[in-house]
């Protein structure tokens, strides 16, 4: 390009606008099994991860990325995916409010466009390059403890989440946002036999209907 050598590098991660969510997978299914089942139905899926919640749940949610924008829209229209005879809901991933941190150097308080340091591995903090294969233990960029740099184990991250939780409660009390009912039932449908389907709710109630 104008006699200037240009190097094209594959991005380390895809933005949230390319991310989908599979909801209400039974907690007794292993992560690897869920990833394989999603791949069977959606061959272009990748970059899987389980959503971690800070409360006990009978089901798990999984996020994954779709690099092709056209396929992303097609999958959204499907609205469900089959995992172990269960029809599980697919929705767009909506990120919440996030802590300001650098995805280049993994320090809190600034973002990647503002960073003037060389990129580091998210896990081991060694200098990152395209051929990097992480072999060292996980290390925090803030306190050098054995956890990820944005882990809730670091006090600044913990305090941020506590403050955010208080702000959300205040917004609910002031009527600025609404909270979904805790009695709202989630359902997944599974084929049983002889044309019958079982509808399983997250509260443990099963219903069988003929279709």
* Residue 37's CATH number: 3.30.70.330
- 123 shares a domain with 80: no
- Rg (C-alpha) for the chain, rounded Å, is 21
In whole angstroms, what is the distance from residue 69 CA to residue 20 CA?
12
The region, left, alpha or beta by phi > 0 then psi within -120 to 50, assigned to residue 98 is beta
| Mean per-residue pLDDT, 51-80 | 83
Q: Decide if 151 is inside a domain.
A: yes
Q: Are 96 and 161 in contact, with CB atoms under 8 Å apart? A: no
pLDDT tens digits for range 81-131: 888 788 888 888 876 666 778 889 998 888 888 889 999 998 999 998 888
Q: Decide if 159 is inside a domain.
A: yes
Looking at residue 78, its pLDDT comes to 82
Q: How confident is the model at residue 46 (pLDDT cuts 50, 70, 90)?
A: confident
Q: Decide if 63 is inside a domain.
A: yes
Does position 9 have pLDDT exceeding 80, yes or no?
no
- 122 shares a domain with 72: no
- 66 shares a domain with 37: yes
In whole angstroms, what is the distance from residue 90 CA to residue 94 CA?
12
Residue 27: domain span: 16-92
pLDDT tens digits for range 141-178: 988 889 888 888 888 888 877 887 788 788 888 888 77
| pTM, full prediction | 0.47
């Amino acid at each position: 390009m104008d006699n200037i050598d240009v190097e094209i590098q594959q991005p380390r991660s895809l933005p949230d606008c390319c991310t989908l969510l599979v909801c209400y997978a039974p907690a007794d299914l292993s992560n690897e099994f869920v990833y394989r089942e999603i791949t069977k139905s959606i061959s272009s899926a990748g970059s899987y991860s389980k959503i971690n919640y800070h409360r006990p749940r009978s089901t798990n949610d999984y996020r994954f990325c779709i690099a092709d924008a056209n396929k992303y829209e097609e999958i959204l229209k499907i609205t469900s995916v089959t995992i172990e005879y269960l029809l599980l809901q697919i929705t767009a991933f909506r990120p919440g409010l996030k802590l300001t941190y650098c995805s280049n150097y993994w320090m809190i308080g600034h973002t990647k466009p503002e960073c003037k340091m060389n990129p580091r591995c998210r896990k081991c903090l060694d200098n990152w390059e395209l051929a990097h294969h992480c072999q060292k233990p996980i290390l925090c960029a803030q306190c050098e403890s054995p956890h990820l740099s944005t882990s809730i184990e670091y006090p600044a991250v913990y305090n941020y989440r506590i403050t955010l939780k208080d702000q959300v409660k205040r917004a609910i009390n002031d009527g600025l946002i609404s909270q979904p009912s805790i009695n709202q039932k989630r359902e997944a449908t599974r084929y049983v036999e002889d044309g019958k389907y079982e509808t399983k709710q997250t509260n443990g109630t099963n219903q069988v209907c003929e279709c």
